[in-house]
Structure 1
Amino acid sequence: MSSDTIPFDEASAEALLMRFLAVDGVTGHEAAIAAEVSASLVEVGVPPSMIKYDDAHKRIPLPTETGNLIATMPGTRPGPRLLFSTHLDTVPLCAGAKPKREGDRIINEAAGAALGGDNRTGCAVLVAMVETLLKHNLPHPPITLLFTVREESGLHGARELDPDDLGGAAMGFNVDAQVPANLVIGAVGQVNWQAEIHGKASHAGVAPEKGISSTLVASIALAEAHKNGWFGKINRAEGKGTSNPGIFEGKPGASAGDATNVVTDYVHLVGEARSFDENFAVQIAAAYEAAFETGRLAVADLDGNHAKVKFTAKPSYPPFQLPEDSPAVDRAKRAAETLGLSAMTLHSNGGLDANWLVRHGVPAVTIGAGQHEIHTVNEFVDLPQYFDGCRLAIAIATLDD
């Protein structure tokens, strides 16, 4: 089926996008947008009995209004069940967005806010795809639709998903990128780490030698990580990856230290390690732990006492890599070709719901739908790319096996 033969209604797809962009749903507060998407699915012909919410929010360690939204559709022809996924939430900067069409773009006319194309484009693509399939009776295999929560704050909805709720999907197609036919077939994994340093306060002008500076311990540790090649972009014989200590603070909501005349007694650092090799990401975090031990031993008070350091590391999401010839990648490539699009496979240095979908046993390719300048006040949606994203989803769903 070529782009000329797909009976796709651009005006209806644009209306869906504008409808979803106008609904707030920052991460953790997805109830309103989930209800809007659910209502739109019913409007285009999905029976309410085929739509449900799971209980993933009960397992997410952050307050979350609702579970993942899941819809299952029977096939009109034989074939493996296909999963189409996207996420419901936006970053907090998108609160109060007011979408407006300007030429071939959807922009935000609300000052100081992002638009939310990430990922209202994905929500609209999935509903537009279903509308097209049902309205025109296009043959398709069984389909599961997945709209996840809390993607933007840690991929939590996809992580806490029960794979059995996907109905035995054989392959997945996640809508969460920019250019439709730039197929993301692999992504890094991430380990998050924290270091709490308990030093000892003293008067910095009268008796600094009686104190143990947590700031100095942390500074030596970071310098040690940098010296040994574990800071920033990492390219070692053992592997490749990145790291970043992103937060350097005191007690929650406070600075590291209270005054210039007091030796800092407490510092809290939060960082990350990323790699396409799951074990190497763990190794990066372990190198930071060793660096903090070096920093701890390098600083002592007048009596030879050292700081106490509590270091913890926890995997955030696993990496994945789909073979170029895997069925999911092949299907996406062939679907793009039917539309005259040039498919290209890419790897992401950021996490996606696909990271967890693959871990749950569903090989998932991420496709795009025109989202640009995401997470910024300059965000916009490129409508021609969005329409191509809709057509690509339809082509994937209707492609002969």
Structure 2
Amino acid sequence: MTVDTAAAVERLLRFLSVNAITGHEGPIGKELAAALQEVGVPAKAITFDDAHTRIPEPTPIGNLIVKLPGTGKKGAQPILFMTHMDTVPLCAGAKPKIAGKRVVNELEGTTALGGDNRTGCAVLVTLAAELIKQKLPHPPITMLFTVREESGLFGAKHLNPVDLGGPAVGFNFDGRSAADVIVGAIGADRWFVDIRGKAAHAGVAPEKGISATMVLALAMAEVYEGGWFGKVIKDGREGTSNVGLVGTADGKSAGDATNVVTDFVHVKGESRSHDAKFVREITAAYKTAFTNAAAKVKDHEGRAAKVKFTSRLDYVPFRLKSDAPVVKLAEVAIQKIGRTPNLRTTNGGLDANWMVKHGIPTVTFGAGQNEIHTVKEFVDLREFESACQLALVLATAE
């Protein structure tokens, strides 16, 4: 199995140059569709689904789905190759260049690069190119490029599994080492709190106000004292939690002035664990804390603050067994490219979380990403080239 690595790297540079952060995937979707047609994929085999119409955040396009008919044994089950097309906002304006066996950012220190996950995009387009150019026999293949992975795995969550054509197994490219086989990932809730108090002059009559800020402070104190903040360990179960945005619903600062009792605070946070039930327990602890705090903060007439606590399931945890067929296929393929497979789990969410939930056992490999989501990001071309070779081996395995 040989791969035109020069062409693969050229594609990678091409995709890294496209400015299309999460929620603004239009340009990269267009570029991917064009690149696929250039390597011989018929236009009719390239479609965008309607997942974006169900995503709760503005999203210009749906997931890109490509179907390659089988050319090998009759009756072979379809397989799925997938990645995500979006990047984190920090990647906006990146300018890739080659430095030895790395791709780095000319603007190092100012933006991230976008290897997460334009490496995966380049792997999948290279796979299509090599299968067509070399006329290699393979089962029916579906390629999936999801949207809004970075902002909540929304593309994978809201796709219609029927659109994928019934693949038996899935291979996701999103990570560092091509020899890593991620067989499990954490689950997460995302939660939101609206705290409503009452404004009053903080210098003249603060007792007439109801401080939403104080509700936040008391709630967080209860969460912290109860051991529910940060790394959470309870009765042998582990998870994490965090508070992110504190302000208004549109991202502005809570409160207007130091001499006005703050009447509204919007809070966003998350809960995570490999134990789905424990995720909900962590979230419930936050809800209880905010409810208790609201009852304590009152004005001079005894009226208390009010809170509205809502949460949503971001993604469910999963753990594939080491003897699962998709895991065995991955291990054999990695050995065929001269590497030693390394089965592991991750404390981050992956599109694979939702694919497993949709009934498609999916493992995740790396493709050269390093220092992701930072201004020091780079792509290891050795790992990227290994990932391209690995995809080809997986696609042509009998």
Instruction: Return the TM-score normalized by structure 2.
Output: 0.96
- Secondary structure at the aligned position of 1:110 is classed as coil
- Say if 2:363 is the partner of 1:385: no
2:104 maps to 107
Q: Unmatched 5+ residue regions in structure 1?
A: 1-5
1:371 maps to 369
1:3 maps to none
2: CA distance between counterparts of 1:187 and 1:196?
Answer: 30
Change (3 A) 1:254 1:11: closer
2:84 maps to 87
- Secondary structure at the aligned position of 1:258 is classed as coil
Q: What are the residue-to-residue correspondences of 1:33-52 with 2, within 5 Å? A: 33-52=28-47
Q: What are the residue-to-residue correspondences of 1:66-81 with 2, within 5 Å? A: 66-78=61-73, 79-81=76-78
Change (3 A) 1:168 1:251: closer
Offset at residue 212 of structure 1 (A): 1.8
Change (3 A) 1:302 1:238: farther
2:49 maps to 54
- Secondary structure at the aligned position of 1:357 is classed as helix
2:95 maps to 98
Offset at residue 201 of structure 1 (A): 2.1
Offset at residue 173 of structure 1 (A): 0.4
Q: What are the residue-to-residue correspondences of 1:316-331 with 2, within 5 Å? A: 316-331=314-329
Tell which deviates more after alignment, 383-392 or 263-272: 263-272
Match of 1:272 among 270, 273, 282: 270
Tell which deviates more after alignment, 133-142 or 146-155: 133-142
1:115 maps to amino acid: L
Change (3 A) 1:212 1:238: farther
2:184 maps to amino acid: G
1:66 maps to amino acid: I
1:20 maps to 15
Offset at residue 238 of structure 1 (A): 7.2
RMSD: 1.5
- Say if 2:114 is the partner of 1:119: no
1:359 maps to amino acid: K
Q: What are the residue-to-residue correspondences of 1:147-186 with 2, within 5 Å? A: 147-186=145-184
2: CA distance between counterparts of 1:42 and 1:207?
Answer: 69
Offset at residue 251 of structure 1 (A): 5.5
1:289 maps to 287
2: CA distance between counterparts of 1:309 and 1:155?
Answer: 28
Offset at residue 114 of structure 1 (A): 1.6
2: CA distance between counterparts of 1:389 and 1:284?
Answer: 37
1:258 maps to 256
Q: Is the 8 A contact 2:2 2:389 kept in 1?
A: no
Change (3 A) 1:250 1:63: closer
Q: Is the 8 A contact 1:238 1:280 kept in 2?
A: no
Q: Is the 8 A contact 2:245 2:251 kept in 1?
A: no
- Say if 2:171 is the partner of 1:205: no
2: CA distance between counterparts of 1:259 and 1:55?
Answer: 44
Aligned-residue sequence identity (percent) comes to 55
- Secondary structure at the aligned position of 1:332 is classed as helix
Q: How many residues align?
A: 395
1:138 maps to amino acid: L
Offset at residue 259 of structure 1 (A): 2.0
Instruction: Return the TM-score normalized by structure 1.
Output: 0.95
1:92 maps to amino acid: P
- Secondary structure at the aligned position of 2:268 is classed as strand
Q: Unmatched 5+ residue regions in structure 2?
A: none
Offset at residue 243 of structure 1 (A): 0.6
Offset at residue 40 of structure 1 (A): 1.7
2: CA distance between counterparts of 1:250 and 1:15?
Answer: 44
- Secondary structure at the aligned position of 1:107 is classed as strand
